[in-house]
Chain A
Amino acid sequence: MSKAFDEMNGFGGGVREPYRAVAEWLETQKIDDLKKKRTEAEALFRRTGITFAVYGDGQAAERLIPFDIVPRIISASEWRRLAAGIEQRVKALNAFMYDIYHRQEILRAGRVPEELVVQNSAFVPEMIGVDPPLGIYSHIIGIDIVRTGPNEFYVLEDNTRTPSGVSYMLENRETMMHMFPDLFAKNRVAPIETYPDNLLKTLESVADKSLDRDPNFALLTPGLYNSAYFEHSFLADQMGIELVEGQDLVVIDGALYMKTTQGRKQVDVLYRRIDDDFLDPLVFDPTSLLGVPGLFDVYRSGRVAIVNAPGAGIADDKAIYNYIPEIVRFYTGSPPILKNVPTRNCRNPDDLAYVLDNLKDLVVKEVHGSGGYGMLVGPAASAAEIEAFREKLKARPHNYIAQPTLALSTCPTLVDSGLAPRHLDLRPFVLIGDRVRLVPGGLTRVALRDGSLVVNSSQGGGTKDTWILQD
């Protein structure tokens, strides 16, 4: 693997412009003082309760996501290009979903293979012909972007179901401003605090316009043992809407209600943070206790808006990913601004043969996996791990895709030995309602182990505050 691009120092040759003030500041800091600050930050996170549960660690386990105090910085001009690409992409993804749940023009035109869509487990046939408000399926999308050079950005994946992490974006900023106010005086960092407000505007834009009262909103969480529970309660609090569980909701006479201290109160927009399968036991997984029996019928009749819509997962399916540049061209008529990582679908025999021959250089992922579980990072894997994975791949080739191991950009990060470069990615959160809303920022995830390319918090990754500079 070639030497990675460093966000602060480029390929060598001096500090890059956006990082100048921060680099100067870092020069004046003692490592021990920075470590002390980090400990302070972690105590702050713990006291505030910004924790997440790790699956398989037992119910009571609450962990902190490690927070790194060196910010990740993106210049105004870099961001303008990313923002334009993001907006183009999310519009195309929503147009794609509207199409495949209606006339399926793109399949008829042969631009995306039909079986890849209709036989996909993320495709929800019950959604065919359903008209979601404003024709939008995915109102909140988190796009994972990686960088390999000064102008080389790639979309690694789209998260169109129930993307999480935005609370960390917001809390990381609060923490940085609390601990290093001087840094913000020296840098023109674009504010991100309007995100909850924008989210509420997005929810409002899909509420039934014919109501003769103000619409009611609720955020549906699986409950306090879910790994993202903090985020659910954080967002509900920031927006001033009810945080509900399935047990708090009931369908009566074709409408959705929450059970309040004063009896039933109708819910008009449901921001759900549970998966499709669990939404409605009458239509999806019949064993689910997390959802609400009858919810899907209410949705289909237009008496409640669900954000994101059921079936929105089809747009972030890893088997569909390869076709997104094509999807962007098809629906926008323009070439995609953001590039995809060249990807091989192991369902194709030619691709499979190539992947099997080059396992040690590739990253192989499960089509339906997430959270960094069940993947192979070839260059970091032992020979035995590669051989074990080869067997899995041969047994179920259609279950995997493969990508070249990108030299993800690095950023100086505080580790035991001091400041050292660590690989990172970026997840901006974009909102789609009556218009597209994108706050200038995102969640930067950083792999804390030397050389590691896996940034997922479930695999020991940390986060950084992400600064978009203003001109």
Chain B
Amino acid sequence: MLGRTANDLFWLSRYLERAENMARLIEVGYRIALLPREGEGYNEEWRSTLQSAGCETGYLAKYAVPTTADVINYLLFDADNGSSVRSCISIARRNARAQRTALTREMWESLNSAWINFEAINPQDITSDRLPALLDWIKEQSATYRGALLNTILRNDTFYFSQLGTFLERADNTARILDVKYFVLLPSYEMIGSSVDNLQWASILRSVSAHRSYRWVYKQHYKPWNIADYLILNAEMPRSLKACYLEIDQAVAGLKKFYHQTDMCVPSAHETLDMLEHGDIDTIFQSGVHEFLTDFLGRNNRVAQEISQAYHFNG
């Protein structure tokens, strides 16, 4: 496989995962914006959404304050925003078109249809009553593509590079949501062990589609402690950092086997998994959640760089 092909496949998956995460973030932000609030509260909520999406700087360069209509438009449709759903889908589709030969027909057609249908949307038509359906549709497109990938692609380098893109992006996303929201919400260290009665806590879980499963797993009310444990260390939770790194580790091992390599090409992947497997939430809280997540995001970037170098993404 060409290095350029591996690079395109990796980013195709990353961008599609990003589109899905963006839809989820907008969903949560919009839900909170609908709640009865005092004063400018919802501005702050949209600000934290923009931060979680990594889009705050870009947004503020264009608009003075976060308003519901502007934020939604910026995150969904703005071509100037490299992470808007429009940008994500069109970059993913461009990469798919460039690497059409590596994809199965099912993968290509699901993505091409998603792009055709998204491009046909007139942003003005997306009134508030139609927004939820659109966000669901975006998540469905990502699910359909992932389904086509899992069901039709050979377990070869195409599969492994795609997996790496998906789970690196997902880990990055979960870590950022947790970092931003946790920071905003957490009033003091004393509170972290106690139950909180705050819809905002639920919003963290909603951002990663985990608000219902949380109850099944912890059988308790929302507690900051548990929420952090769930999103960082719980291997059952498919968007937790640990679950992502179990997948990344498998894909790295798969590549190594597929290419008959003897050296460890992506050492940081295994190290990071190791760190998560031996981590416990007490220690993380002792040393600071923010510090932990900052360190994690650095590791996550390092893994991406090591992959890119080991497999000659840039020739």
- Chain A positions within 8 Å of B, measured between CB atoms, are 46-49, 223-224, 229, 233-234, 236-237, 242-245, 247-248, 250, 258-263
Q: Which residues of A contact B259 (CB under 8 A)?
A: 261-262
Query: Residues 226-242 of chain B: 1 if any A CB is under 8 Å from the residue's CB, otherwise 0?
Result: 00000000000000000
B315 within 8 A of A: yes
Q: Which residues of B contact A233 (CB under 8 A)?
A: 97, 100-101
Closest approach, in angstroms, between the C-beta of A266 and any C-beta of chain B? Answer: 14
Q: Which among B2, B3, B116 has the greatest number of chain A C-beta atoms within 10 A?
A: B2
State which of A49, A237, A248, A262 has its C-beta within 8 Å of the C-beta of B315.
A248
State which of A46, A48, A261 has its C-beta within 8 Å of the C-beta of B2.
A261
Closest approach, in angstroms, between the C-beta of B260 and any C-beta of chain A? Answer: 9
Q: Which residues of A contact B186 (CB under 8 A)?
A: none
16 examples of A-B residue contacts, CB within 8 angstroms: A49-B108, A224-B94, A233-B97, A236-B101, A237-B100, A242-B2, A242-B101, A245-B4, A248-B3, A248-B4, A250-B315, A259-B312, A260-B2, A261-B157, A261-B259, A261-B312
Closest approach, in angstroms, between the C-beta of A196 and any C-beta of chain B? Answer: 12
B217 within 8 A of A: no
Interface residue ranges of B6-32 to A (CB < 8 Å) = 6
Q: Which residues of A contact B184 (CB under 8 A)?
A: none
**A47→B109 contact, CB < 8 A:** yes
Q: Which residues of A contact B225 (CB under 8 A)?
A: none
B64 within 8 A of A: no
B292 within 8 A of A: no
State which of B2, B100, B116 has its C-beta within 8 Å of the C-beta of A258.
B2
Per the bound structure, the CA–CA distance linking A49 and B312 in Å amounts to: 29
**A224→B4 contact, CB < 8 A:** no
Q: How large is the interface on B (under 10, 10 to 19, 20 to 34, 35 or more residues)?
A: 20 to 34
Per the bound structure, the CA–CA distance linking A276 and B98 in Å amounts to: 23
Q: Which residues of A contact B311 (CB under 8 A)?
A: 261-262
Per the bound structure, the CA–CA distance linking A263 and B98 in Å amounts to: 20
Q: Which residues of A contact B113 (CB under 8 A)?
A: 47
- Chain B positions within 8 Å of A, measured between CB atoms, are 1-6, 94, 97-98, 100-101, 105, 108-109, 112-113, 116, 157, 259, 311-312, 315
Closest approach, in angstroms, between the C-beta of B88 and any C-beta of chain A? Answer: 17
Q: Which among A49, A223, A261 has the greatest number of chain B C-beta atoms within 10 A?
A: A261
Q: Which chain A residue has the least Cβ–Cβ distance from B315?
A: A259
State which of B3, B6, B97, B101 has its C-beta within 8 Å of the C-beta of A49.
B97
**A224→B97 contact, CB < 8 A:** yes
Closest 3 CB pairs of A and B: A237-B101, A261-B311, A233-B100
State which of A48, A243, A262 has its C-beta within 8 Å of the C-beta of B109.
A48
Per the bound structure, the CA–CA distance linking A236 and B315 in Å amounts to: 20
Q: Which chain A residue has the least Cβ–Cβ distance from B112?
A: A49
Q: Which residues of B contact A236 (CB under 8 A)?
A: 101
Q: Which residues of B contact A46 (CB under 8 A)?
A: 116
Q: Which chain B residue has the least Cβ–Cβ distance from A238?
A: B101
Closest approach, in angstroms, between the C-beta of B11 and any C-beta of chain A? Answer: 15
Q: Which residues of A contact B108 (CB under 8 A)?
A: 48-49
Q: Which residues of A contact B100 (CB under 8 A)?
A: 49, 233-234, 237, 243
Closest approach, in angstroms, between the C-beta of A360 and any C-beta of chain B? Answer: 45
Number of interchain pairs (Cβ within 8 Å): 62
**B101→A248 contact, CB < 8 A:** no
**A244→B2 contact, CB < 8 A:** yes
Per the bound structure, the CA–CA distance linking A129 and B109 in Å amounts to: 48
Per the bound structure, the CA–CA distance linking A453 and B230 in Å amounts to: 69
Given contacts A248-B315, A259-B312, are A224 and B2 in contact (CB under 8 A)? no
Per the bound structure, the CA–CA distance linking A236 and B98 in Å amounts to: 12
Per the bound structure, the CA–CA distance linking A382 and B6 in Å amounts to: 54
State which of B4, B109, B157, B312 has its C-beta within 8 Å of the C-beta of A263.
B312
Q: Which residues of B contact A247 (CB under 8 A)?
A: 4, 315
Per the bound structure, the CA–CA distance linking A33 and B315 in Å amounts to: 52
Q: Which residues of B contact A248 (CB under 8 A)?
A: 2-4, 315
Closest approach, in angstroms, between the C-beta of B310 and any C-beta of chain A? Answer: 8
Q: Which residues of A contact B6 (CB under 8 A)?
A: 261
Q: Which residues of A contact B116 (CB under 8 A)?
A: 46-47
Closest approach, in angstroms, between the C-beta of A35 and any C-beta of chain B? Answer: 21
Closest approach, in angstroms, between the C-beta of A276 and any C-beta of chain B? Answer: 24
Q: Which residues of A contact B2 (CB under 8 A)?
A: 242, 244, 248, 258-261
Closest approach, in angstroms, between the C-beta of B313 and any C-beta of chain A? Answer: 8
Closest approach, in angstroms, between the C-beta of A324 and any C-beta of chain B? Answer: 36
Q: Which chain B residue has the least Cβ–Cβ distance from A234?
A: B100
Closest approach, in angstroms, between the C-beta of B162 and any C-beta of chain A? Answer: 13
Q: Which residues of B contact A261 (CB under 8 A)?
A: 1-3, 5-6, 157, 259, 311-312
Closest approach, in angstroms, between the C-beta of A39 and any C-beta of chain B? Answer: 15
Q: Which chain A residue has the least Cβ–Cβ distance from B116?
A: A46
Per the bound structure, the CA–CA distance linking A47 and B312 in Å amounts to: 32
Q: Which residues of B contact A223 (CB under 8 A)?
A: 98
Per the bound structure, the CA–CA distance linking A223 and B4 in Å amounts to: 12
Q: Which chain B residue has the least Cβ–Cβ distance from A250?
A: B315
Q: Which chain A residue has the least Cβ–Cβ distance from B101?
A: A237
Per the bound structure, the CA–CA distance linking A261 and B5 in Å amounts to: 9
**A224→B98 contact, CB < 8 A:** yes
Per the bound structure, the CA–CA distance linking A46 and B230 in Å amounts to: 43
**B3→A259 contact, CB < 8 A:** yes
**A259→B97 contact, CB < 8 A:** no
Per the bound structure, the CA–CA distance linking A261 and B98 in Å amounts to: 17
Q: Which chain A residue has the least Cβ–Cβ distance from B311?
A: A261
Given contacts A49-B97, A237-B101, are A260 and B112 in contact (CB under 8 A)? no
Q: Which residues of B contact A49 (CB under 8 A)?
A: 97, 100, 108, 112
Per the bound structure, the CA–CA distance linking A248 and B97 in Å amounts to: 17
- What would 17 more interface pairs be, CB under 8 Å, given A234-B100, A248-B4, A260-B1? A47-B116, A49-B97, A224-B94, A224-B97, A233-B97, A233-B101, A242-B101, A245-B4, A247-B4, A248-B2, A248-B3, A248-B315, A250-B315, A259-B312, A261-B312, A262-B259, A262-B312
Per the bound structure, the CA–CA distance linking A223 and B259 in Å amounts to: 27
Closest approach, in angstroms, between the C-beta of A210 and any C-beta of chain B? Answer: 26
Q: Which residues of B contact A237 (CB under 8 A)?
A: 100-101
Q: Which chain B residue has the least Cβ–Cβ distance from A233?
A: B100
Per the bound structure, the CA–CA distance linking A236 and B112 in Å amounts to: 19
Per the bound structure, the CA–CA distance linking A243 and B97 in Å amounts to: 12
Q: Which chain A residue has the least Cβ–Cβ distance from B95?
A: A224
Q: Which chain B residue has the least Cβ–Cβ distance from A263?
A: B312
**B3→A243 contact, CB < 8 A:** no
Per the bound structure, the CA–CA distance linking A229 and B99 in Å amounts to: 11
Per the bound structure, the CA–CA distance linking A401 and B2 in Å amounts to: 45
Q: Which residues of A contact B112 (CB under 8 A)?
A: 47-49
Per the bound structure, the CA–CA distance linking A258 and B112 in Å amounts to: 28
Closest approach, in angstroms, between the C-beta of A285 and any C-beta of chain B? Answer: 22
